[in-house]
Amino acid sequence: MKKTLAVIAGYLLLIGFLPACQVGDGETGSLRSPEGQPPAAPSAPVAKGQQETQTPAEEAPKSVDQNLGYAPNNPNPKRIVMRLGRGEDTKDFALILDSSKKSGTDYDLLVADTDLDGSLADETAVKADGEPDRRRHQRVTVTAPFGDLDAEYAFGLHTYVRGETGEFSVWPITYINLTANDGKWSYMFLGGASSDDAGVQRFDVGGPLSLETVVKLKDRETFDIAATIKSASDQTIRLINGPGGGAQTRVRPHLVVRAPSGKTIEDKDLDYG
């Protein structure tokens, strides 16, 4: 058992394959009253040293247009926000899933804030492909920061309705294209965790990456090691293309696992999930 733990506690080295991104006072006069009306009663005298105060009228709370100027057909549209970028320099990309029908769960229309101006009033809803329980929406593209760089973000939304329960879900495919000092890089992410914020489904896109490994002991000397590269918001990397030979080439992450003794347990390229 001690030997097994010592081996599993070996060193995980992931050779880097990501580019460096950082990441009135009115006049006083005599009281006058409208004709036929008694004069207004004077205000109570204010004691010396005290100031007369007035309670300002409470302002009515401003209503928030959750649909950002878009008039949905379905009374229960699905509101989505993709937070783009890293650190403090981020942009919110708003989308709404709507229906060509007045009700139901067939969200076959998508309207997106393609100019990132915070309004959907100037956008057009686009019809999706597929069937009511499985829709594939056309890819939408925007440009926003990625660290110190400008990146092109593209999203393909897939929506599903579970037949038994009628549960509705959104599964995004995210593409990020950017140009670093060493050339062009492209990333493709699958899925991702989301949070609910007052009826808005929020996804974080382009966050830090981490390596998740699963080690299974086959016998006393050999292991099966599987690794997955995910973003902080649980997006799984499907592929990475990087610069090479004048054109983009597939970049494969490489995994090296060594025991404390220095013995190499694993040394291989990883496949994308």
Structure tokens at 219: 């016998």
- pLDDT tens per residue across span 96-150: 999 998 888 899 999 999 999 999 999 999 999 999 999 999 999 999 988 788 8
Q: How confident is the model at residue 217 (pLDDT cuts 50, 70, 90)?
A: confident
Euclidean distance between CA atoms 213 and 219, whole angstroms? 18
The pLDDT value recorded for residue 57 is 56
The pLDDT value recorded for residue 9 is 36
Domain count, the chain: 1
Residue 230 above 50 pLDDT?
yes
DSSP 8-state symbol, 119:
-
Average pLDDT of the segment spanning 165-190: 91
- Domain residues for the domain of 112 are 67-269
Residue 1 belongs to some domain of the structure: no
Residue 254 belongs to some domain of the structure: yes
pTM across the whole model:
0.69
**Residue 241 forms beta bridges with which residues?**
186, 250
Q: How confident is the model at residue 264 (pLDDT cuts 50, 70, 90)?
A: confident
Average pLDDT of the segment spanning 207-221: 76
User: Average model confidence (pLDDT) for the chain?
Assistant: 77
Residue 132 belongs to some domain of the structure: yes
Residue 55 belongs to some domain of the structure: no
Pairing of the two strands 200-205 and 78-86: parallel
**Which residue shows structure tokens 């019809």?**
127
Residue 233 belongs to some domain of the structure: yes
